[in-house]
Structure formats: structure tokens, C-alpha cells
Amino acid sequence: MTLISPIDETTAAPAVREFDQRYYNLIAYIVSNAIAGEIMAIENYSEMVHLMGTSAEKIETVSQASEECKHILLLSKLGRTLDVAVQRRIVEPQWNQIRKHFSAAVAKRDLAACLIIQDLMTETMAIMLYRTLANETETDPRTAAVARNILADELEHLEIGKHRIRQLLAEDPVGVHDALVWAHHRVMPELFGMISTSCHFLCDELNIECGSLTLDSIRTDIEALKLQALESYIETLDSLFDQAVTNPLIASMSAYEGYGQMFSGEAGAACCGPTAPSVQ
């Protein structure tokens, strides 16, 4: 006979977390930047197609652009579901600067630089962002579900990019290393500069106060996100390149805003929040 124990009223069910307006303002800001990253990714993949060597590679690249379109639809629907305003266009200037650098690489027919910018650098930042949003202990269930869906695609894109880079490294290691150095010094300051809630125009577009965007809404801090982004980027580089090439690049990042303190171990919690990279 199975005995059914009476309900222990002292063991309460986990409390359902409530989210205030500051949280939804932060989600609107992050999602808007995520959409901007996805728009940039569509343009990058579309511009890069004609540099691909085979029809199969061209088709795969078009498919990647199509998946980024799907991400925009998912993020836009999330905004409607949460009843938060999101922008479906590029607002912040960093995204336009990265696009200019990518177009410059296309003009040089530097496929390695294109792949490094979009499939390594931008995807690494996007993965960090979507992992943060996919954490159900930090965000609401609907946001977490959408982020998990997109994260799976971004992880796949990263692996595609790494595979393509390995092929190019086998053919021309010096050229690929030069492309990495060129792209790193132009793109990474822009990407890491967006791990902040200091915006140029987006807050005005969303009609929210930048000062209200604090990371305590998702129980983390800006220095933790920067450290996660740095670790992810180093991990990506180490999986592909010799440390003799990557170490000087990583060291150069100590000059980025806020990174001097991090490298010296003096970083503390900050009051600002993340933006999306694309991500993408």
C-alpha cells in the first residue's frame, strides 16, 4: 500500500517572478538592437554570396540570410506579445560602421575578412546575448523561449563560419591571419562598445529614458557581460588560430573602454545594461 503524505504547507512552490516596467524597457532596448544585428547579418550574407566559390556555398549563404529574416520575425512577434515597442531598423551608428567595414572587405574580395566579421565576430557576440536572454531564471518564459530558438541557429552559423575559415587557412594561412588582424581592429571596438546602455538615438526612438535601463532587471552586470563576451571571443579564436597571432589582438583589447579595469581585476558591478550584438 502506498501512503500519500499530506501536503507540507511549509514547502511553498517557487514564486512566480514579476517583472516591472524597467525590465520591459530593457527588453525593448535589447530586442531592438538584436533586430538591428539581424538586419545587418542579412545585408552581410547577401553581399557576400557572390564571393563564395561554389553553388552549394552560395545556397548555404542565402539560407543563412533567410534564417536571419526568421529571427527578425520572431523578435518582432516577441515585442508584440510582451506589448513593448521595438524598432525594426538600424538605429545605433555602430551597426552602420560594421556594415561599412564589411562592405570594404567585399570590395577587396577578401572572403576571409567577411567570414571573420560576420560568422565569427558578430555571431560570437550574438551567442553571448541570446544565452543571456535564454536563461529562464533571468528573463520571462516567452523571451527565454524565443532566445533559445534563435540561439540554436546562431550556434550553427558559428560552426559554418569556423568550417569555412579552416578551409581558407589550409589554402592561405598568411592571408587569413592578415584578414583577422584587419577585421579585429575595425570591428571589435564597435561590437564591444555596444555592451552598454549608452545609446545615441535608440532610447529616443523607443521613448524610454536611458537612465532607466539597469541590468539588475535581469540580475547581472555589465562587467560580467563584457567578461563573458571576451571569453567567448577568445575561445572562438583559439579554436582556429595560433596564439602567436591571437595573443597580441586580445592584449590590444585592454585599451577598449572599461577593459583596462577588467584586465587589472578591478572591475566591479555597473549600473548599465547590455545591448544586442546578432548578433546576428
CATH number at residue 249: 1.20.1260.10
Grid coordinates representing 213 are 535601463
Q: What is the pLDDT of residue 216?
A: 58
Report which of residues 66 and 24 the model is more confident about: 66
- In contact, 195 and 262? CB cutoff 8 Å: no
Confidence of residue 33 (pLDDT cuts 50, 70, 90): confident
Given a contact cutoff of 8 angstroms between Cβ atoms, the answer to whether 225 and 26 are in contact is no
**Burial code of 112-136, b = ≥16 C-beta within 10 A, e = fewer?**
bbbbbbbbbbbbbbbbbbbbbbbbe
Tell me the one-letter amino acid at 44: N
**What was the pLDDT predicted at 139?**
87
Mean of pLDDT over the chain: 80
How many domains, the chain? 1
DSSP string, 175-228: HHHHHHHHHHHHHHHHHHHTSSS--SSHHHHHT--GGG--GGGGT--HHHHHHH
| Distance between CA atoms of residues 259 and 183, nearest Å | 19
- Using CA atoms of 211, 212, 217, 221 in order, give the dihedral in degrees to the nearest 10: 0
User: Which residue has better confidence, 135 or 255?
Assistant: 135
Q: Positive or negative, the Cα torsion across 245, 248, 251, 252?
A: negative
- What's the whole-model pTM score? 0.79
Compute the radius of gyration of the chain from its Cα atoms: 20
Asked which of 51-60, 183-192, 237-246, 253-262 is least confident by mean pLDDT, the reply is: 253-262
Q: What is the mean pLDDT of residues 70-93?
A: 85
Q: pLDDT tens for residues 253-271? A: 877 654 544 444 443 333 3
Instruction: Check residue 201 and give its pLDDT.
Output: 55
Classify residue 81: in a domain, yes or no.
Answer: no
Tell me if 185 is assigned to some domain: yes
Establish if 190 belongs to a structural domain: yes
In a domain, 203, yes or no: yes
Predicted confidence (pLDDT) at residue 12 exceeds the cutoff of 90? no
What confidence category does residue 44 fall into, taking pLDDT thresholds of 50, 70 and 90?
Answer: very high
Give the pLDDT confidence score for residue 200 in this predicted structure: 58
**Residue 23 included in any domain:** no
Q: Is residue 174 part of a domain?
A: yes
Query: Is 201 inside a domain boundary?
Result: yes
Domain holding 105, by residue range, is 94-263
**Cα-Cα-Cα-Cα dihedral of 214, 217, 219, 223, to 10°?**
-20
* Domain contains 83: no
Running DSSP on this structure, what letter comes out for residue 121?
A: I
pLDDT at 232: 87
Stretch 4-12: mean pLDDT, rounded?
45
